[in-house]
Amino acid sequence: MIPHVFPRPRSRRLSVTPLSRTCLRVLCLSALLCLSACQSPAGFIDRAAVAPVIDGQLDDACWKSAPVIDANFRFDGQSLRDPQPRLRVRYAWDEHYLYLAYDVTDANLVALPDGSPQGPADNRRQTPLAWGPEKKLDLVEFFVTMEGYDNPVVAWEIHHDAANHFGDIWTIVPPEDSLLRRSSMIPFWGKHFMAVEEYVQDDGPFRVASAVRLKPKADGAPSTVNDPRDTDTGYTAELRLPWRGLGAPTTWRVGATTPGLSGDEIGKPIAFDMRRHRIRLFAAMLDGDGPNPIYFHSSPTMPKKTLFAPRYIDWPVYECRDGARR
Ligand SMILES: [Ca+2]
Ligand SMILES: [Ca+2]
Ligand SMILES: [Ca+2]
């Protein structure tokens, strides 16, 4: 059985009355499906009444009310939390953006560029190096996909680091038992396809943005990147990703009355009503310190020592809602 990627709301109920043997089989099968389909989301993402300023400081109103997600599950054990704080993330949304904020605790910050800048001509960004154990490289990753993009999963893998390098990889992940995994487009360990040259598009004036703020050390001076002579404390960061660039369905746009865009809507930015829509959002951190680099992440169910992208069923599900109720 292929589990549903996005559990449906609890309000959906089965309505089967003729209990013939065949119907009982159908009912039992449906009940099994519902076990995977009716689970509650891991949490909610609240709408930001005021958009956060993307400056790396987490003093915006939306971050003060957002739940803090401790992404310190260890790569080398399932459901195994690290005793130390590692990566803490917060999420928010509004009609144009998904906002990501995070706080890294790290005594030695390392961040290096990789390849050429990417992005549109008026919003270029430098991609970070994603793996470099000999350099003690650090990295933060987010994996995001939306309900509906579930067979195969179409997701974005976002990379970010202490030097504000920003990378985005368009990823396609067929279900594990799908023959699509035999596609010549699936070279990455026979599991998924990564389009590294693609990038999250800006939606007119609504543009990808990111920022970093280095946290102060014991002496009050900011932590330093790529200088191991001191003892860092870490950094905070904010990212802003346009819903339309992420691929939110245009049927989710504010005031949608038709499935497709009407003539005067084509080419204009789109405002999205994300209320009640569900997204899968998984956060991970690579820390290059110690004898071996290690990842920490936000999923209590991710199997140990597993490649994150193909395990989309273990990315936590969040439901977008309007306003903080906490
Ligand atoms: Ca801010
Ligand atoms: Ca480090
Ligand atoms: Ca340093």
Side chain identity, residue 89: V
The per-residue pLDDT for 23 is 38
**CA dist., res. 145 & res. 317, Å (int):** 10
* Residue owning tokens 């400081």: 57
Give the number of whichever ligand sits closest to the CA of residue 55.
1
Structure tokens that stand for 196 in this block: 């590294």
**CA dist., res. 248 & res. 320, Å (int):** 13
User: What spacing in Å lies between the alpha carbon of 212 and ligand 1's midpoint?
Assistant: 9
User: What spacing in Å lies between the alpha carbon of 60 and ligand 1's midpoint?
Assistant: 5
User: What spacing in Å lies between the alpha carbon of 131 and ligand 3's midpoint?
Assistant: 19
The per-residue pLDDT for 39 is 53
In whole angstroms, how far apart are CA 106 and each of 98, 113, 220? 26, 19, 16
User: What spacing in Å lies between the alpha carbon of 167 and ligand 3's midpoint?
Assistant: 22
- Which domains, ranges and CATH numbers included, belong to the chain? 1-40 (no CATH), 45-321 (2.60.40.1190)
Rounded average pLDDT per 10-residue block, the chain, 326 residues: 39 37 39 43 95 98 97 96 96 98 98 94 96 96 92 94 97 88 77 91 97 98 98 98 95 87 85 96 96 95 95 96 68
Side chain identity, residue 51: A
The per-residue pLDDT for 28 is 35
Put simply, whether the predicted model's pTM sits higher than 0.95 gets the answer no
168 touches 158 (CB < 8 A): yes
- 3-state SS, residue 36: helix
The per-residue pLDDT for 180 is 85
The per-residue pLDDT for 260 is 83
- Supply the Cα-derived Rg of the chain in whole angstroms: 21
